[in-house]
Amino acid sequence: MTAALANDFPSAVVIAPCERGGGIVLRLLNGWPLFWLLSALLLVMALAFLTAVGFDTQGYRLIIRATARTSLGLFLVAFVASAVLNHWPGAFARWLVRNRRAFGLAFAMSHAVHLSAIVVFARTDWATFWSLSSTGAIVAGSIAYVVIGLLASTSFDPVVRWLGARRWKQLHRFGLWFVWLFFVFTNAKRIPGSSWYVLPVTLLIAAMIFRLQHARPRRARVSPPASS
C-alpha cells in the first residue's frame, strides 16, 4: 500500500505502544466500544426526547432534527480526521484517525435513527409529513441513504480487503463528498426559513477548506543549506 493510500485506509494507522491498552475509559474511547458508546448515547437521546415531549408528531420531529445535527457532527469528525493529523500531528490527531471508522459508523447509526423517526412520523401524521417533504426530497434522500449504506457496509476489514485499497479509497472519497454536498444542500435550503442554518453551512465549508488544504502531511521543515 502506498503512503498516500495508507493515509486514508481504515486500519492503517499505527498505534504507538504507549497508546495501546490502558484503563477501561481508554478502552471505551477506542474502536468498537467507542462506536457502541456513541450509538447508546444516540438511542438514550432519542428515548429522552420521546419521554419528555411525547410519542407523537412533536417528539418524532425533535428526533429527526436532533439526529440531523448529531449526524453532521459525527460526519465532520470523520471528514477532517486525516487533515487534523496532517496539520497537527500528535496523540489526539492519531486517536481521531484511528477511530475515524467508529465515528463514521456512528454517523450511519445516527442517520438510521433519523430514518426510523421519519418512518414513524410519516405513519403517525401523514399530512404534516408531506407538508415538510416532497417526492423530490424523498428521492434525493433515498439516494443519500444508499450512499451512506455503501460507506457503512464497506467499513469492515474483510470487505475492505475484498474491495482493495484503490477501489475502497475511490468509493469512500466519492461517498464522503456526496454526503458533504447533501448536508450543504439540506441545510442551505432551510436558510430562508431561519438564519440559524448559516452555521452548519459555514461549518461544512470551513471543513471542506481545511480538508483540501491539509490533504497531505506537512513536509518536515528543512533549513536551507548554509551559504559558504
Instruction: Take residue 62 and report the three cell numbers written for it.
Output: 425533535
For CA atoms 184, 186, 189, 192, give the dihedral sign: negative
Taking the complex as a whole, the smallest distance from the CB of residue 187 to ligand HEM amounts, in Å, to 5
Taking the complex as a whole, the smallest distance from the CB of residue 111 to ligand HEM amounts, in Å, to 6
Chain residues in the site for ligand HEM (CB under 6 A): 61, 64-65, 68-69, 114, 118, 132-133, 138, 141-142, 144-145, 179, 182-183, 186-187
Of the pair 116, 154, the CB lying nearest ligand HEM is at: 116
Q: How far is CA 215 from the centre of its chain?
A: 17
Taking the complex as a whole, the smallest distance from the CB of residue 44 to ligand HEM amounts, in Å, to 20
Altogether, the residues listed in the chain come to a count of 228
Q: Which residue is nearest to ligand HEM (CB)?
A: 141
For CA atoms 215, 207, 151, 135, give the dihedral sign: negative
Taking the complex as a whole, the smallest distance from the CB of residue 108 to ligand HEM amounts, in Å, to 10
Of the pair 84, 113, the CB lying nearest ligand HEM is at: 113
Which DSSP string do the residues of 171-189 spell out, in sequence order? HHHHHHHHHHHHHHHHHHT
